[in-house]
Amino acid sequence: MKAAIFIEPGRIILGEKPIPDVGPLDALIRITTTTICGTDVHILKGEYPVEAGLTVGHEPVGVIEKLGSSVTGFEEGQRVIAGAITPSGTSNASLCGFHAQCGGQEGHGWKAIGGWRFGNTIDGAQAEYLLVPDAMANLAPIPDGLTDEQVLMCPDIMSTGFGGAEAGRIRIGDTVAVFAQGPIGLCAAAGAHMMGATTIIGVESVPARMEMSKKMGATHVVDFSKVDPVDEILKITDGRGVDVAIEALGTQETFEGALRVLRPGGTLSSLGVYSGDLTIPLDAFSAGLGDNTIRSTLCPGGKERMRRLMETVESGRVDTGQLVTHHYPLDSIEDAYELFANQRDGVLKVAIRT
């Protein structure tokens, strides 16, 4: 089968690999559509380490090709997605609801980021076929009538963005700032809107993303290339600050900006993947006495999460399909990486067809 393979920092190629064998608890998925994530770009640049030879990607949409002997409740030929996070479903972490921190079935059952396996510790979704472990915990049937593109954001981008809003514990009438309006930040804005926030402030400078931000629920969009976003957000809130600030890029600048716009007792919900040390400024942190909360979130996974997200799409309450701006065949995935990694041509998300 064809697969996008990490070779070394700066180099992901389209190569050949054997089609995986299927174990008793596994499912083999024939990928019909997948996409490239910002985390894949971190891998490409060597900012997040993975083993050479690994197939990358963690956002699968496809059809069940073969089921393991112990898998029940699914049929071969069924259209499904699996989350970017694939918990065992039986570990202590999973049973506590922390699927992303699943340490499997051995020992204490906890491992930081352990639930992220596709394209991290096992072969991922940018290929013609994908082996899904613990299939009964992770496969979710696609509702009839939904296209691949309509559910393509569910495995990661939508789940992560919504997870950031949920981690902020947004309440009806809240004011929320979302720093960066890439695909995850846009989904965070949509999640904040669905949870009842009435003032949602996106921070962005790319005109197409600023326009999309309003479509996804933002009531204000601050262009950080023209004004200081902290000053502008404090102006919008009459100096009060926001109830929840969501950081969706992963830089010191955006993390610090999110902290500086929080009201006392507010929550900073961190979604960024950081590739260096973070510094917490003493004044922005109120010397540790401001009753602020900082929460980090890795994409929630598992089949129930995927079901809920697809039902949200099916209801028409959110349209994440509009985030797909470009289309490439798997054969041209190296070109797709070049486009996405360099953020050319107004790209938001790329649909990769196999």
Q: What is the pLDDT of residues 146-168, one digit of tens each?
A: 999 999 999 999 999 999 999 99
Q: Quick one: pLDDT at residue 107?
A: 84
Tell me how far CA of residue 350 lies from CA of 3, 150, 162, 305, 353, in angstroms. 17, 13, 20, 23, 10
Q: Is 53 left (phi over 0), alpha (psi -120 to 50) or beta?
A: left
Is the pLDDT at 57 greater than 80? The verdict is: yes
pLDDT, tens digit, for every residue of 3-18? Answer: 999 999 999 999 999 9
Maximum C-alpha span of the chain:
62
Which structure tokens are listed for 317?
A: 């309450």
pLDDT score recorded for residue 104: 85
C-alpha 313/C-alpha 322 separation (Å) is 12
Mean pLDDT of 25-34: 98
What string of DSSP letters covers 250-316? --HHHHHHHHHTEEEEEEEEE----SS-----TTTTGGGTS--EEEE-----SHHHHHHHHHHHHTT
Q: Is the pLDDT of residue 66 over 90?
A: yes
**Residue 312: pLDDT above 80?**
yes
Segment 317-345 mean pLDDT: 96
Residue spans of beta strands (DSSP E) within the chain: 2-8, 11-16, 27-35, 61-67, 79-82, 129-132, 139-141, 175-179, 199-204, 220-223, 242-247, 262-270, 293-296, 324-329, 349-353
Quick one: average pLDDT of 227-249?
98
From residue 352, how far is each of 31, 43, 328, 331, 334 by CA, in Å?
10, 18, 5, 9, 11
What is the structure's pLDDT at 216? 97
pLDDT of residue 275: 82
In degrees and rounded to multiples of 5, residue 89 shows phi and psi of 85, -10
Q: Which amino acid is at 348?
A: L
What span, in angstroms and rounded, lies between the C-alpha atoms of 78 and 126? 20
**28-45: b (≥16 Cβ within 10 Å) or e:** bbbbebbbbbbbbbbbbe
A 10 A CB-CB count for 132 gives 31
Q: Is 224 helix (H, G, I), strand (E, B) or coil?
A: coil
**Confidence band, pLDDT 50/70/90 cuts, at residue 281:** very high
pLDDT at residue number 273:
87
pLDDT at 7: 98
Give the pLDDT of residue 305.
98
Cα dist. 64→140, 310, 323 in Å? 11, 18, 26
Residue-averaged pLDDT of the chain: 97
Dihedral sign, Cα of residue 282, residue 283, residue 285, residue 287: positive
Beta-sheet pairing, 175-179 with 129-132: unpaired
Q: How many residues does the chain have?
A: 354
Q: Is the pLDDT of residue 350 over 80?
A: yes
Q: What is the pLDDT of residues 174-188, one digit of tens each?
A: 999 999 999 999 999
Asked if the model's pLDDT at residue 111 lies above 90, the reply is yes
Residue 105: predicted pLDDT: 75
Task: List CB contacts of 288: < 8 A, sequence separation 6 or more.
Answer: none
Cβ atoms of 116 and 43 within 8 Å: the answer is no
- Mean pLDDT for 26-32 is 98
pLDDT above 90: percentage of residues in the chain: 97
